[in-house]
Structure 1
Amino acid sequence: MCRLAGAIAILSLSTTAAAQTSAVILEEVTVTGRKMGKLEAVQDVPLAVTAFGAAQLDAAFVRNVEDLSFSAPNVSLDSVGVTPGVQNFAIRGLGLNSSIPSIDPTVGLFVDEVYLGVTFGTVLDMFDLDGVEILRGPQGLLFGRNVTGGAVLVRTKRPSGDFGARLKMAVESGPEYVVAGSIEGPLAPVLAAKLTAYYKNDTGYFDNRTTGGNDYGEEETFFVRPSFLLTPSDDTEIVLRLEHGETRGDGGVVQNMAFYRNFDTGVGSEGTVDINWDQIFIEFNRNVAFGNGKITNIFGWRDLDHYGYTDVDGTPQVLFHGGTRTLQEQFSNELRYSGEVARGVNLTAGLYYFTQDILYREERTLATPLGVLISTLGGDQDHWSWAAFSAVDVELTDTLKLNLGLRYTKERKKAQIATFNAVSSPCDFATNRCNFDFSDAHIWDNWIPKIGFEWKAARDVLLYSFWTQGIRSGGYNFRNVNPLVAAGPTSEEKQNSFEIGIKSDWADGQVRFNAAAFYNEITDLQREIAVVDLTAGVAQVIRNSADARLQGVEVEAVFVPLDRLILSVSAGYTDAEYTKIHMDLNGDQVIDAADKALDLPRVSPWTYSAGMSFDTPLSTLGEATWRLQYSHRDKAAFADNNSTFLSKVDLLDASVTYRHPNQRFTLSLYGRNLTDEDYEGAVTQLPFGTVRYLSKGRRYGVEMNLEF
């Protein structure tokens, strides 16, 4: 069984893998997604989860969460692209088509168990990770609101207490340069420390035909992460993680499809982005006698400053340029207990508190018949939320467990909003001062229940099923354009979800087969409806637009026909339809069957992949690993009126890696997107054409890793 643990994770990667042997690919992968106070083998968890260990992430050249975008069925972890660093994730057809920070996500991102409260500043480079877990399906019981599609859990490495160091250097097409490293060791008998640093200089992958330059898309990123492990007793540990990071570069890479195709662009301004973040995360763990359990406390503070300027129209002229500023500060704390409170009864229970302040300003520069118009809109929000939760596993027999859970959440949002005004700008972009024309506060509270069963049908076969609910927060529209349309609040988006699944190993550990089927009913679907506006360029209205049904299946399988050969396949299918329409979606001024027949945004009916990894011994010189990976994702509607679609994507990646016999030195050659597919993170219709925000095409790279 251990032989295949983790293989399905790394071999479903669509990014190129390198620096690995079969031992690395097949290493046991453990997860934390059930908050049981201990690591669990991924095959023992009754959830649809794809997990990646530290070695697998390094082997796959994962530099940010977006590199895992094609890593699992029914999963898309793209950035929106309008301005760098903003997530636009979707899982099982539940996702965003927006870059408004007041809109909460459907897929929550958690770093070291701390929820990141806005989508801005989340798709940033990472290094020295312990693992990443992609949990598909609603995770509201343990993770709260805004995880109706799923959750992505990122764990950074903590100090081990032993001396060690590592160095990574890479060069990729563009060119792009990466230098990263870490050093750790003991400072005292009960104190260990680690220092991690990362630097990337992307000189720009894209060509700008307006200027004739080939440096469009420049980005320079640096972060430093000191961390400390204090173990004052055998039963107590405290982990302190500090991080400061900066990203500078061009704005979103824009293509106006009325004039350009493939990877051609022609902007008058390449824009800019300036992101700064600071964070302090403190993890406390103490083993207690009661239930042989553990008390855990997770504290998080994060401060984000995100500025972006983008040539939105994608032409040499100044038709629509936009600048954005997002300031966010958040605090959170979770206190929980996990243990066996009675024979065969395991309990996880806790309290959670979260608060954040958000400031958003957006300056629009627009061409009008009377000349250039400059106007700034935006909003401020004060937000808090608290919750109490419990999850109980009851052993009914030696092979059958009952899973029960309940979470109560209460949250409040208070917002002030300045609506776009073409005559007199309501805000000063330089000073952030605004004359707000909308002010409101609202409180929501809800219960999230869960009931399920897991049956160990055989030693290596787990069957599970559950029903649960999910909640996506209501909220306000910081990008309000029409003064006659209220900026909120929208109602909460509610979800009923049913899932059945199997996790299994066969043929003495040579075959792994995992599958899941799901059925989701969504009421009060919360959408950003974007329409062309001749004055403001584009107008966004946030409404509870419809009710919907989403259902589908997922299959992941790995085969080990030979000791040095690993084959994998995965597939996901999602079928989605509206069941009830609450507003005019297609803009024909009536609500009828034509609205109901539209495709739901962010739903790619099919995703699938196939991969191969093969090791070649080099006698006493070491070993070479060859890898090939193909991934497919169907096109998906992006706009609610189906005026724009995200492209169908077929990716082919390949790599070869040399590993020294001492296992401390690797050298890799790799190719990403070898078929040079042009695809995007967002597509928007404007008065002067449809624009999209491009992802990179074919790249080649070389990477060296050295450990001490």
Structure 2
Amino acid sequence: MTFRLSIRASYLALAASALAATGTTAMAQTPDQAAETVEEESGGFAGQDIVVTAQRRPERLQDIPLTVTAFNAETIKSLNLNDAISVSKYVPSMISQHNAGLATANSYFLRGLGNTQSAATFDPPVGTYVDDIYVARQNANNYAFFDTERVEVLRGPQGTLFGRNTTGGAVAIIMRKPKDEVGAKFEMSAGSFDRVTAKTSIDLPISSTILTKWSAFYVKDDGYLKNITTGETLNGERSYGFRGDLRLLPTDDLTIDLSGEYTSNTGTYFGVRTLPTPSSRFGTTTTPVFYEAATNMRQTSCKGDPVTTLLTTGDGLCLNSENYAASANITYSPDAGTLQAIVGYRKQDQGYINNYSSGTVNKFAGFILADKIDNSQHSGELKWNSELFDGKLKYVAGIFYLKEINDLSTATFSGGTTAYNLTADVRFHQEVETAAAYAQGDYEIVPDLIATLGARYTWEVKNLDFFRSDRFPGFGYDSAAVIATGVPLRQTQSRVTPRIALSYKFDPNVLVFASATNGFKSGGWNGTNSNPALVLPFRPEVTWSYETGFKSELFDRKLRLNGNVYLAITKDLQVTSGIIIPPLTTVSQLARNAGKLQTYGFEWEAAFSPNRYFNIFVNGSINRGKYLSTVQTPGVPANLQIQTSTVPVRVPDFQIATGATFKVPVDALGGDLGITGAFRHNSPYFVAALNTAAAPTENFVDLTATYDNEDGKWGASFGVTNLTKQETITANFISLFPGDPRRFTGRFWFNF
């Protein structure tokens, strides 16, 4: 990966929420071609433009009526953003964490919209995209960053241009494309908890029209959670991956990008043990003990059938996930516009065993899940970008198709004394087909006044089938048992989601805008419940978001200041929580419609660079949320229902992320020395849907010292994250799950 911008540019990109870049954006350019133009034409820190593809074409961020935060390759490296979950640290109105017990699954919350359910019968409200291809399943969305060109986070509903309707937003990951010259980059780091990472990327062009790139990564982490009963450490990982990219350039107007990828992830994400005394700090009935667990269960391998592994070895606490992906992006760019065909395939095989009772020493008595999951998807999209009326109208239109096949086998064990006691065994097969057509146009009514109008029509069908257990006779249920309770196992949905916006430029450096955007995410089922009567369907979640804001570059473009106010009304909000529903005696996951949610707030992003040696950024948000009305789920006690007095989860009243970097050339050392400091603050927020647990006030401090050789061939850094040892919890499902502790990391990289 030889893509390289100065660290000064990377921090402007972070603070101003985009890819630091300059250059023209002709319609005949593909997004990555625009990025290459940007790299070649980038100048000093002040006055640089920012190019994003949030509207599915390359545009200056300051010219579009959207709120976007983006990270380029240098920012990802400098801030130690190793995977998709890391980006949330610096995005206004965003809180993210791993799903309870599942380290490969991220729960993204944007403006109060998110979810903690990774089962295939529940879709994420914040979508993940890799090279414009939608990643349907949240249990595989913690994408590792290796040879990543940039990441864009779009806030608010994505109901028009992106591959799957979402209500909260989108995380778009763009991988770097092969270059036309031989080059390579290698990076290695080592740090706390015996964490070692290695990344490499090699460009090997075969000719001027056939370019290739080969990338790989490896991560080993022994974990930071001490099991005081067995002496093992938990919450570590072993991960690796390979990727190959092929770029064909048969003509000046035709580009064909092909890629293939394999990643393997193993590891654990386990909760802490607790003391039997209430905690006012965390709003819980027990007090967490950081960073300790107490179960007598040991780690093992989850390859094969997790239930067989658990019952034959007696051990668990494992995750094994294998992911395969392939894509083709064919871009044809005649004078009239740009036509893109995007085809993708993804497959995941996953197994995990998790004992959620971290403080229960007797491993048989705890609440244990042993799951086997197989997901596959294939998708296709055809997209056309062009202009009319001498450039007064810019438009994009396209069609999209996605098919998913999902299989889940989940067994629950609880309440044993000397052996594992099976309480449930659920198996289902789900197929999803969705198709859409969309169009959006930006028309210049008068000079500098642009009206945006777009809409998407989506059709979707879901079919769900259940099967009785073949390994535990008498357990489980089939589709007939569910249908007998009055629950349909087929859902068909169709919807039009519009977008309207108006923007005006007072001068080349000041833009104001207002917009109204509609988005939805599909309905589904409470698919993992052990009781067929509780496989309840839920309706689609629908959001209208209203925004007004400004984008500006002031003082000879040394200060970039963007801000916006938003109001989002979400009908039939979908929530999940783990509860015990009488007369059952074990915990059930309950996914349901909670009611109507209102969130609103002010978000800002600022970057100031008085000279080429120093810059500072300040990003933040002020947010409020409340339930306007609620929906009561039949058969659930009132104390386990969402009420209008319930506080929405993961909506901190105040967030701020600020930092500064100072970097100067030192002739005696033959390179640049730099130091970067960052501070992040979140006011307290609930992490449990029923307000039974909360994260306290969070204050994180990160520091990094860097050296870059003057010829750009090598460099090194040493840094610390969470310097002040901030303790926090990310989720509450039987156990309390901890945030990351303090880490020290040394890094070395070189290019050739």
TM-score, reference length from structure 1? 0.91
For the residues of structure 1 that align with 2:70 and 2:134, how far apart are their CA atoms? 18
Match of 2:679 in 1: 630
For the residues of structure 2 that align with 1:673 and 1:638, how far apart are their CA atoms? 20
**Secondary structure at 1:120's aligned position in 2?**
helix
Output the amino acid matched with 1:532.
I
Deviations 1:549-593 (A, max 9, x none): 11111011122234312122122122111111111699763899x
Return the offset for 1:169: 0.7
1:610 aligns with 2:627: no
1:405 aligns with 2:454: yes
> Is the alpha carbon distance of 1:87 and 1:146 closer, same or farther for their aligned partners in structure 2, counting shifts above 3 Å?
farther
1:669-688 matched pairs, under 5 angstroms: 669-684=718-733, 686=734
Of 583-592 and 216-225, more deviation after overlay is shown by: 583-592
> Is the alpha carbon distance of 1:583 and 1:145 closer, same or farther for their aligned partners in structure 2, counting shifts above 3 Å?
farther
Output the amino acid matched with 1:228.
L
Match of 1:341 in 2: 388
CA contact (8 A) 1:224 1:244 kept: yes
1:50-129 matched pairs, under 5 angstroms: 50-129=69-148
Return the offset for 1:369: 8.1
Output the amino acid matched with 2:241.
F
Output the amino acid matched with 2:156.
G
CA contact (8 A) 1:418 1:436 kept: no
CA contact (8 A) 2:603 2:621 kept: yes
Output the amino acid matched with 2:409.
R
Q: Of the candidates 557, 563, 570, which is equivalent to residue 619 of structure 2?
A: 570
Q: Of the candidates 273, 277, 292, which is equivalent to residue 264 of structure 1?
A: 292
Return the offset for 1:362: 1.4
1:128-207 matched pairs, under 5 angstroms: 128-207=147-226
Match of 2:14 in 1: 10
Unaligned runs of 5+ in 2: 1-5, 18-41, 277-287, 300-316, 484-488
CA contact (8 A) 1:283 1:298 kept: yes
For the residues of structure 1 that align with 2:506 and 2:9, how far apart are their CA atoms? 19
**Secondary structure at 1:180's aligned position in 2?**
strand
Match of 2:351 in 1: 307
Return the offset for 1:511: 1.2
> Is the alpha carbon distance of 1:23 and 1:507 closer, same or farther for their aligned partners in structure 2, counting shifts above 3 Å?
closer
TM-score, reference length from structure 2? 0.86
Return the offset for 1:423: 9.7
1:545 aligns with 2:618: no
1:254 aligns with 2:271: yes
1:274 aligns with 2:274: no
1:702 aligns with 2:746: yes
Deviations 1:460-508 (A, max 9, x none): 11111111111011012221133332x2321111111111111111011
Q: Of the candidates 256, 270, 276, which is equivalent to residue 238 of structure 1?
A: 256
> Is the alpha carbon distance of 1:434 and 1:257 closer, same or farther for their aligned partners in structure 2, counting shifts above 3 Å?
farther
Output the amino acid matched with 2:330.
F
Return the offset for 1:548: 1.6
Return the offset for 1:662: 0.8
Match of 1:18 in 2: none
**Secondary structure at 1:294's aligned position in 2?**
strand
Output the amino acid matched with 2:376.
E
Match of 1:30 in 2: 51
Return the offset for 1:58: 2.1
CA contact (8 A) 2:45 2:612 kept: no
For the residues of structure 2 that align with 1:358 and 1:536, how far apart are their CA atoms? 29
Output the amino acid matched with 1:72.
V
> Is the alpha carbon distance of 1:144 and 1:661 closer, same or farther for their aligned partners in structure 2, counting shifts above 3 Å?
closer
Output the amino acid matched with 2:339.
I
Deviations 1:344-370 (A, max 9, x none): 111100000000001112111111589
For the residues of structure 2 that align with 1:664 and 1:705, how far apart are their CA atoms? 8
1:503 aligns with 2:551: yes
**Secondary structure at 1:462's aligned position in 2?**
strand
For the residues of structure 1 that align with 2:513 and 2:219, how far apart are their CA atoms? 43
Match of 1:17 in 2: none
Return the offset for 1:546: 0.7
Return the offset for 1:142: 0.7
For the residues of structure 2 that align with 1:324 and 1:24, how far apart are their CA atoms? 50
> Is the alpha carbon distance of 1:422 and 1:582 closer, same or farther for their aligned partners in structure 2, counting shifts above 3 Å?
farther
Of 281-290 and 675-684, more deviation after overlay is shown by: 675-684
Return the offset for 1:100: 2.5
Of 27-36 and 570-579, more deviation after overlay is shown by: 27-36
Q: How well do the aligned residues superpose, as a CA RMSD in angstroms?
A: 2.7
For the residues of structure 1 that align with 2:470 and 2:321, how far apart are their CA atoms? 28
Return the offset for 1:536: 5.5
CA contact (8 A) 1:584 1:591 kept: no
Output the amino acid matched with 2:389.
A
CA contact (8 A) 2:52 2:59 kept: yes
1:651 aligns with 2:696: no
1:294 aligns with 2:338: yes
**Secondary structure at 2:160's aligned position in 1?**
helix
**Secondary structure at 2:104's aligned position in 1?**
coil
**Secondary structure at 1:68's aligned position in 2?**
helix
Deviations 1:490-545 (A, max 9, x none): 11111111111111110112211110111111111112243135856311222222
CA contact (8 A) 1:268 1:311 kept: no
1:207-222 matched pairs, under 5 angstroms: 207-213=226-232, 215-222=233-240
Match of 2:24 in 1: none
**Secondary structure at 2:675's aligned position in 1?**
strand
Of 251-260 and 512-521, more deviation after overlay is shown by: 251-260
1:356-367 matched pairs, under 5 angstroms: 356-367=404-415
For the residues of structure 2 that align with 1:12 and 1:443, how far apart are their CA atoms? 41
For the residues of structure 2 that align with 1:6 and 1:655, how far apart are their CA atoms? 14
Unaligned runs of 5+ in 1: 14-20, 428-432
RCO higher in structure (CA 8 A, sep ≥6): 1
Return the offset for 1:59: 2.0
Match of 2:569 in 1: 521
CA contact (8 A) 2:90 2:619 kept: no
For the residues of structure 2 that align with 1:367 and 1:335, how far apart are their CA atoms? 53
For the residues of structure 1 that align with 2:542 and 2:681, how far apart are their CA atoms? 30
Return the offset for 1:297: 0.9
Return the offset for 1:320: 1.3
Match of 2:482 in 1: 438
> Is the alpha carbon distance of 1:9 and 1:203 closer, same or farther for their aligned partners in structure 2, counting shifts above 3 Å?
same
Output the amino acid matched with 1:619.
D
For the residues of structure 1 that align with 2:470 and 2:630, how far apart are their CA atoms? 31
Output the amino acid matched with 2:319.
V
CA contact (8 A) 1:6 1:51 kept: no
1:226 aligns with 2:273: no
CA contact (8 A) 1:658 1:668 kept: yes
Return the offset for 1:160: 1.2
1:579 aligns with 2:628: yes
Match of 1:430 in 2: none
Return the offset for 1:420: 10
For the residues of structure 2 that align with 1:26 and 1:414, how far apart are their CA atoms? 53
Return the offset for 1:419: 8.8
**Secondary structure at 1:438's aligned position in 2?**
helix
Of 215-224 and 388-397, more deviation after overlay is shown by: 215-224
Return the offset for 1:63: 1.2
Deviations 1:246-290 (A, max 9, x none): 1123x3222133464122222222411111011101101001233
> Is the alpha carbon distance of 1:71 and 1:402 closer, same or farther for their aligned partners in structure 2, counting shifts above 3 Å?
same
> Is the alpha carbon distance of 1:387 and 1:22 closer, same or farther for their aligned partners in structure 2, counting shifts above 3 Å?
same
Return the offset for 1:46: 1.6
Match of 1:390 in 2: 439
> Is the alpha carbon distance of 1:356 and 1:376 closer, same or farther for their aligned partners in structure 2, counting shifts above 3 Å?
same
CA contact (8 A) 1:585 1:640 kept: no
